[in-house]
Amino acid sequence: MNTTCQRISFDFGGKFLPPVYILVFITGLAANAWGLKSLWHNWKKLGNVNLFILNLGLADILYLLTLPFLVEYHLKKGRWIFGVAFCKITRFCFNLNLYGSIWFLTCISVYRYLAIVHPMRVMGRITVTHSLTISVMVWSVVSVLSLPDMFFPKHYGNNTKKCFDTTSKDHVEDYLTYSLGWTFFGFCIPLLITVGCYGHVIVVLCRSNTIDKVMKQRSLKLLFILILLFSICYIPYHVLKNFNLLARVLTKQNICQGWFNGVYIARQISRGLVALNSALNPLVYLHAHEDINTQLRKLPQRIRRMFNHFTPLHSGRVEVTQITNDL
């Protein structure tokens, strides 16, 4: 136990997060636009799961639109100029995106599980009404459980130029309790459901000789995508968020440990990684499109046609041919 704690490198987040947020904003908007377009053109093919995919895309776009304000905040070295109310709305949108995405991914996993493991039992019994009702329930529950976060102060003292993603030092103990509860319900339970569903699906696919080979490949690919999302975006964020809150509680009690600074830096990295979920989620509904591989193969051809369209007519034919062959 020490009376003074090692100085935390608070400037790391201001240097690391802006370029990550800019990258996520650009790629996320492009990927979600492409994914939603694919969803629109294949609405009937996808069945009842399309509503979950649509809501997943809407949650991503809702969060992506807040990123320019966060970039401005970090570039100004932690000086928030958009008011306390909009600060809380921005953090609220983040929670909606994060936990809405997790639960909609879980719903997709359950539907896949039922379609593969219990196809005869659910055939004709799952309707659009069921999917719509579940979607409304997910939005409602996530919104209600995100509301307490808006009542925690996002600044300290009379300084309204801060916009904490958690809360000020005075309320950090209560926020740790709230965060642990959110982690259990918003992350641990969906993770267990998803792992359980796909664990059973893998067993069924490996044992069955009657299931179409293409369905096996698609299910395994989707499982890989979900493992990627949870491993990169969600698991580090929740673990490090709670450890960082614990470090703040201990620091407030003048209890110092050498790992505090390392946890803070790792926590900032996890904030950047969790933002990537808005750019990676489109992999789910791009994967759901059966012709996505064909579209990817045609992409270089589209780029060449677009390049040829903007190439001046006086350019030599040999030059154009050479350039397009290099793409």
| 3-class secondary-structure state, position 159 | strand
Task: Give the helix/strand (H/E) hosting 253.
Answer: none
**How far is Cα 286 from Cα 37, in angstroms, rounded to an integer?**
10
Distance from C-alpha of 255 to C-alpha of 236, rounded to nearest angstrom = 24
Report the distance separating Cα 245 and Cα 255, nearest Å.
13
Q: Would you say 63 and 94 are in contact if contact means Cβ atoms under 8 Å apart?
A: yes
| Residue-range domain boundaries for the chain | 11-292
Q: Which run of H or of E encompasses 186?
A: none
Residue whose C-alpha is closest to residue 281's, from 47, 58, 22, 44 = 58
Task: Characterise 21 by phi-psi region: left (phi > 0), alpha (psi -120 to 50), beta (else).
Answer: alpha
Helix residue spans in the chain (DSSP H): 11-41, 43-46, 50-64, 67-75, 84-117, 119-122, 128-151, 172-183, 189-207, 213-229, 235-252, 260-275, 277-280, 282-288, 292-310, 317-326
- Give residue for tokens 């030599």: 316
Chain-centroid distance of CA 61 in Å reads: 11
Please tell me what DSSP assigns to residue 230. I
CB neighbourhood size of 259 (10 A): 11
CA distance 208 to 276: 36
Q: pLDDT tens per residue, the chain (327 residues)? A: 444 566 777 778 888 999 999 999 999 999 888 888 877 877 766 667 888 888 998 999 999 999 999 999 999 888 899 999 999 999 999 999 999 999 998 998 888 888 888 877 777 777 888 889 999 999 999 999 999 999 999 988 777 788 999 998 899 999 999 999 999 999 999 999 988 988 888 888 777 776 667 767 777 777 777 788 888 899 999 999 999 999 999 988 888 888 888 899 999 999 999 999 998 888 776 665 544 445 445 545 655 665 565 555 444 444 333 333 333
Give the distance, in angstroms, between the CA of residue 4 and the centroid of all CA atoms in the same chain: 37
Predicted TM-score of the model (pTM): 0.82
Q: 11-292 architecture in CATH?
A: Up-down Bundle (1.20)
Residues 211, 20: Cα–Cα separation, whole Å: 42
Q: Rounded to whole angstroms, how far apart are CA atoms 37 and 14?
A: 35
Q: Angle between the 292-310 and 317-326 helix axes, to the nearest 10 degrees?
A: 150
